[in-house]
Chain A
Amino acid sequence: MKPAPFDYIRPDSVDEAIGVLGEYGDDARVIAGGQSLLPMLNMRLVRPEVLIDISRLDELKQLEKTGSGVRIGAGVTQGALAIWVGLEPDLPLIARALPNVGHFQTRNRGTVCGSICHADPSSELPLCLALLEGEVELRSDRGARRVPASDFQQGVLNTAREADELATNVVFPAASNGAAYAFDEFNHRHGDFAVVAVAARSEGARISLAVGGVADRPEVRHWTGLEGSAIDDALNDLAWELGGNDDIHATAQYRRQLVRHLGRKVIEETAR
């Protein structure tokens, strides 16, 4: 339960961080809040040669509303976002989801970007990013690019980020006036990873639903003009399509039932 040896590098700027990341690539791991990486290091599930610590870089602690939405730097902790004044008006969905991300002690250090880069299929923040169609900003020595959420998370702990790229920001589109949002999840104890998590957005007749914890990444579906038992039929089709696996937390069958039940609940909540 102790990490294998590694070198520790603490760059003084984002440029330096990108420089060393370019130099070491796959041999390096970025450490932000360490709330997922340290457990993996302690259990020796990962054995990087080099750790690049970005947690002290003030450049990455920007949290601002821009034209395209809310832009959150890679140094912004989940706890800092939770007390941000713009959270409820601009990101009502995240305001609902955030209290479920671990415990206040892990949110004090864990970052928003780190959760999205870690890409656990039942994580709340990647689920919200997928539903809201946000983006991840990546930078390397080769340049900068923005990747939409639907292309970023590719599977279990697997993203489109190349080994030499630093995620510098994530951008969540701000809430639109005519839209309603809802979030819910089932877990065995508060603060545990969700067995199934769902997020919904409705605007006019259009309903979007994101489901986490069933497939190997959050899955989003859109429907128009869905009402009454047609909602149940759509959710049933979705549950079978996503499938799910048996594990120690729940059976696949139970997960599909949660998709039907929680899916209906959040869709109804957004219709109110």
Chain B
Amino acid sequence: MKNLSRDSRHHVTFRLNGVTVEGFSEPRMLLSDFLRHEVGATGTHVGCEHGVCGACTILIDGTASRSCLMLAVQADGAEIDTIEGLANADGSFGILQQAFHENFALQCGFCTPGILMSLSEFLQDNPDPSVDEIKVALSGNVCRCTSYHEIINACIDAAAALRTSKAEAR
């Protein structure tokens, strides 16, 4: 049984985009804050801290989740992917990023990391989604700047590009 006292900071380690990271956390520290302030991975954004806006969405063990609704101590030993891991090894845009760039699917970009991480899982489960399915998938991410139409278009383009790249890899 693990028993972590509120008065101390506890060692937490996990794999972040394939690299082991570590830090110290009180039990009450949110995973979103741990990523940003302990690890220094500030690509994950924080909007509402109650699960509604989706800005903090990351992949935990391969599935999209709110990092503001998880404690850092709960992530110990997990496999985590964030926006910092989406670019190609040479630093150029990954497929999703490129599609957002080409479709003008962001303005301030605050919501974008959460949307891209949500779509990473969504497009894996549903490689050829309809517009209605994309709208439902995006309902958990709030954007206050751009029109959602561009985001939907970017998602359609990204889906097509991902299908092509998968077919080529075969």
Contact = CB atoms under 8 A, between A and B. Distances in A.
A38 B28 CA distance: 10
Given A189-B139, A191-B140, A34 B69 contact: yes
B14 to A, nearest CB: 14
Interface string B65-77: 1101111011000
Given A35-B51, A105-B118, A10 B63 contact: no
Given A108-B63, A190-B135, A55 B122 contact: no
B51 A104 contact: no
A34 B70 contact: yes
Given A8-B73, A34-B69, A104 B28 contact: no
A184 interface: no
B70 A103 contact: no
Contacts of A3: 28, 30
Interface stretch (B1-9, B83-91, B153-161): B1-9
Interface of B: 1-7, 26-28, 30, 33, 49-51, 54, 57, 60, 63-66, 68-71, 73-74, 118, 121-122, 135-137, 139-140
Nearest to A11: B1
Contacts of A191: 136, 139-140
B140 A39 contact: no
A2 interface: yes
A224 interface: no
Contact of B3 (A9, A103, A105): A9
A28 to B, nearest CB: 12
Closest 4 CB pairs of A and B: A103-B140, A8-B27, A39-B50, A5-B6
Interface string A95-138: 00001001111101100000000000000000000000000000
A88 B121 CA distance: 23
Given A39-B69, A190-B135, A5 B140 contact: no
Given A79-B63, A108-B63, A108-B65, A7 B5 contact: yes
Q: For chain B, what secondary structure do more than half of its interface residues adopt (helix, strand, loop), or is it mixed?
A: mixed
A42 B139 contact: no
Given A105-B57, A109-B69, A109-B70, A9 B1 contact: yes
Contacts of B122: 104
A6 B139 contact: no
B139 to A, nearest CB: 4
Contacts of A16: 1
A216 to B, nearest CB: 22
Nearest to B25: A8
Contacts of B6: 5-8
Contacts of B60: 109
Contact of B28 (A4, A20, A102): A4
A42 B52 CA distance: 13
Contact of B140 (A11, A20, A102): A102
A6 B65 contact: no
Contacts of B57: 105
The listed residue with most B CB atoms (<10 A of its CB), out of A1, A11, A16, A104, is A104
Contacts of A51: 27, 71
